[in-house]
Amino acid sequence: MQAKNYHIMSIRILFLFLFFIFPEWKILELDSLIAPILSKKLVSEITPQKYFIDQESAWVDSMFNSMSTDQKIGQLFIVAAYSNQGEGEYQKVDDLIEKYNIGGLIFMQGTPSDQANLTNRYQDLAKVPLLITFDGEWGLGMRLSNVISYPKAITLGAIQDNSLLYKMGGDIAEQFKRLGIHLNFAPDADVNSNSQNPVIGFRSFGENKKNVALKAIAYMKGLQHNGVIANAKHFPGHGDAATDSHFSLPKINHSLERLIDIDLYPFQEMIKDSLMSVITGHLLVPSIDTRNIATSLSGNVVAGILKNKMGFRGLIITDALNMKGATDNASSAGDIELQAFMAGNDLMLMPESAIAGINKIKAAVNNKKTLLEDIDFRVKKILKAKYWAGLNTKKVVIKENINEDLNQQKYLGLKQILYENAITVANNAQKLIPLANIENTKELVSIAIGAEIGNTFQKTLLKFAPFQLYINESRSDEIWYNKILNSLDSNKIVVVSLHRLSTNPSRRYNISPTTISFLSKLQKRTKVILVVLGSPYGLRYFPEIENIVCGYEEDPLAQEAAAQVIFGALPAKGKLPVSVDDKYKVGDGIDIASANILGFSLPEAVDINSIALTRIDNIVNNAIAQKIFPGCNLLIARNGKIAYTKGYGNLKYESSQKVTPYTVYDLASITKVGSTLQAVMKLYDQNLLDLNQKASFYLPELDSTNKQNITITNLLYHQAGLHGYLPFWENTKKKRNLDTTYYRFEKSAEFPFTVATGIYGNQTLKDSLWQWVIDSPLISRRSRFGEFPFLYSDLGLMILQKVVERITNLPLDKYCETTFFKPLGLERTGFNIFEKISLDQVAPTENDLSFRGIQIKGTVQDQQAAMLGGVAGHAGLFGSLIDLAKLFQMNLNQGSYGNFTFFDSKTIELFTQSGSVKSHRTLGWDKQSENFDSNYISGDASASSYGHSGYTGTMVWVDPKYNLIFIFLTNRVYPNTNNNRVNSLKIRRKIHDVVYQSIIK
């Protein structure tokens, strides 16, 4: 009781002192105002951490002792600086620094380079180093051009992992320090309890006080642990404002109890932790101060509550004093600044007239010398803040590479992760999300309203499935809407995305009545998924939509994340940070697990250093310049996400047609693991194939031949005694010409299958080739135990093809298409690719002068595979990067992809890890070998990794240890096969090495 009486007496004395200075201030029933405040324990027995206020240093004393009273008063002011204005404006700031010793600057608009120049200029002029501040709630991009903007607070409010906000704070601090900034006016600690709030809204973490507090603390710590002063704003809470304090003084009618319970809660929690500065807001709060005065100018608020009751010991800074919410109280220049000072603020931010404010405070000091002690205390506090920020030593902002430094890929990687964690599935009544689990017989339609052609959202959708695309930028074209409605039916699934939405509730977030009506009608006609790339409050206009996703923002990374969540490439984790009428409550959000399919990512988001990857450019471009290959394609996937795809060069040396990530290549021997081996594993998995069984068990024609005892295992290990390659195609030529017994130049019933463009094979040719394989000799080399050594052989895969076809009663291509390629959604992969896609999209291979006499494009380069109509166990498969990534991701996923399970995990383990004692191979796969200096496998590849290469220059490698897939596609055999420098110069290995070196460990 004695302690409480002491506090009451202290506050009474404080207010009497303020009344003496400002006799015009009148407060009725002072005790009735103070008592309820004291009855609440805002912060229990505060024991603040060591703030900069506790730091003592010779530097602080030296700076303080060197200043006159006038110079000390100047330290209380932070003025605005713009780096996009002329020399005349810059000189005005020069004068304030040189003549009035102002304490700091807040940089507003401009570019990083220009701001760096001005920072150095202004710091050179300052007798006492300037505290450089910045209003960067979502980073430097909030004010400057050509720099990263992080997600807005309302987006961050949806994230469930607050450690991500801590990391964001750290990245922003790193960027700020690079630009010479010491204090960030962030985070916003307002609890947005008013959906019509015109100024806070998207700047708040939401309406749940605990969520706001936790996220504000995480962001705060990220900044402060990395050397930048954080700031909580706008005290005592701007979340229920109905007007914008930039233009008027908002009135908050809440009771003191409600303010303490809700609005002050985040500030309390931040102060209990380690908060270093606060902004006092321009608000009218009658429950705290009955006068018509902004809280930023109220001693009741600043001194009474924030300092005395809540025990805050850090910097107290006004909101911008040129805002109407403050200036409407001014009778003459400098009055507002004086009132703010007398209320207890340490720093006056963006005064309308710094000079007038300095003079008014100086006059007050001359009248009341006791104010000098207060000024001295605050100036020392400011100096200690500068000492904490490192201003005791001079630091020049280096302009060189500043844009590159501020826009590092690692920052974008975290930004991507933030959006991925925020996307919220608010409703999924029809269970349409994820689309990866929906039967692929449904036709997919995308309607982007308010978007531009080529928008990121639709481009991302197309990475997963074919869509019929519509775009409407007008939002109110009723004729267009009706035309689209009439073209859709119940067989469609329609994804509607709303783009370029406003943050302003008074403008209905730029959602037109025509759009609302269209979606209502569309919902009744077919199945709809609505994606709102804007404020979650915009969901209120679509209560009928049964499947709805909140993407929060228009940023391309948000669009990409929303599209990936819809397909299931990303899980849905976000929760609504606010309530939306009676339809959705704060915290709503449907958790949806990933559909186990490949997604897309920036390299840094999966711990790959994109700068390190740029070394690949030199390797590849040099190879193209040396004509090692005309072009190539490269893909890196990690942690289930495609993090890097790039096409280099052209399809041909003499062509200008560029390689793209969608270019299709002849995969050559990747066919062995991409089709035949997959089929063998499937049949083993189904107990239809015994690896220890003889091939002759499945192929009786091998009985009584030199191949009757060859086992399936020995075929897979390439130790069956078969020759590596026998040129059977030479049997079908007469001198230099094709034998017309086997080939014709017109398709017919007798010559039905394509050997090459315009060349057709006799229906008996496949049987002839198979007989030549059966009759082929074995190698003579054997061990003393009579066993054959390892010898890589195409013939073994031709035999395995026959085994697969005999068991399944299907041709290999048909079996793989129905069992693997179609379920995986491989649109650009298969045998005889010319039947599936345009040849313009296919890279040419050999100009085959020895056999077919033509340039090969779209049909298989391998002669034996061509004799089999383009479908062979060892060659014939064509594919593109993303398709192959899906196939091999399925293997990396231990046999599953999407909602399909292709193999038991034990099957994958058996085939990829059961090695031969005679070689480095496993069952069908190539492996890394300690005793073999590979020309295409990196020495850093793990022992658990596996893959294959192809004769045309292709390669795929899967590494479970690093959850990594590497795919390299090229056509090094164009225009002829004599060029083998891709192997002799180890081009693929060099690139593979860079991939491993780029992994952030």
Average per-residue pLDDT for the chain: 92
Strands ordered across the beta sheet of 665-666: 665-666, 877-879, 830-831
- The answer to whether 316 touches 277, Cβ cutoff 8 Å, is yes
pLDDT confidence of residue 126: 98
Residue 30 clears pLDDT 60, i.e. is over it: no
pLDDT confidence of residue 242: 72
Average pLDDT over residues 255-278: 96
Residue 330 pLDDT grade (very low, low, confident, very high; cuts 50, 70, 90): low
Give 827-876 pLDDT, tens digit per residue.
999 999 999 999 999 999 999 999 999 999 999 999 999 999 999 999 99
CA distance 372 to 138: 38
Q: Is 180 helix (H, G, I), strand (E, B) or coil?
A: coil
- What are the tokens at 514? 């025509």
Residue 11 pLDDT grade (very low, low, confident, very high; cuts 50, 70, 90): very low
Residue 17 pLDDT grade (very low, low, confident, very high; cuts 50, 70, 90): very low
Give 605-640 pLDDT, tens digit per residue.
999 999 999 999 999 999 999 999 999 999 999 999
Task: Determine the length of the chain.
Answer: 1001
pLDDT confidence of residue 21: 40
CA proximity to 576, closest of 824, 300, 205: 205
- How far from 632 is each of 620, 627, 909, CA to CA, in Å? 8, 12, 31
Residue 657 pLDDT grade (very low, low, confident, very high; cuts 50, 70, 90): very high
CA distance 535 to 524: 25
Residue 214 pLDDT grade (very low, low, confident, very high; cuts 50, 70, 90): very high
Average pLDDT over residues 815-830: 95
Query: What DSSP designation does 223 have?
Result: H
Give 341-357 pLDDT, tens digit per residue.
999 999 999 999 999 99
Of 629-643, 914-928, 957-971, least confident by mean pLDDT is 914-928
Residue 689 clears pLDDT 70, i.e. is over it: yes
Average pLDDT over residues 233-253: 84
CA distance 46 to 275: 12
Residue 78 pLDDT grade (very low, low, confident, very high; cuts 50, 70, 90): very high
Residue 826 clears pLDDT 60, i.e. is over it: yes
| Helix ranges, 225-263 (H) | 256-258
pLDDT confidence of residue 26: 35
Find all residues with CB under 8 Å of 735, minimum gap 6, and list them. none
pLDDT confidence of residue 932: 73
Give 465-504 pLDDT, tens digit per residue.
999 999 988 888 889 999 999 999 888 999 999 999 999 8
Give 119-169 pLDDT, tens digit per residue.
999 999 999 999 999 999 999 999 999 999 999 999 999 999 999 999 999
Please state the separation of Cα 753 from the chain's center in Å: 47
CA distance 159 to 424: 9
Average pLDDT over residues 642-659: 95
- The answer to whether 473 touches 498, Cβ cutoff 8 Å, is no
Average pLDDT over residues 795-807: 98
CA distance 789 to 927: 17
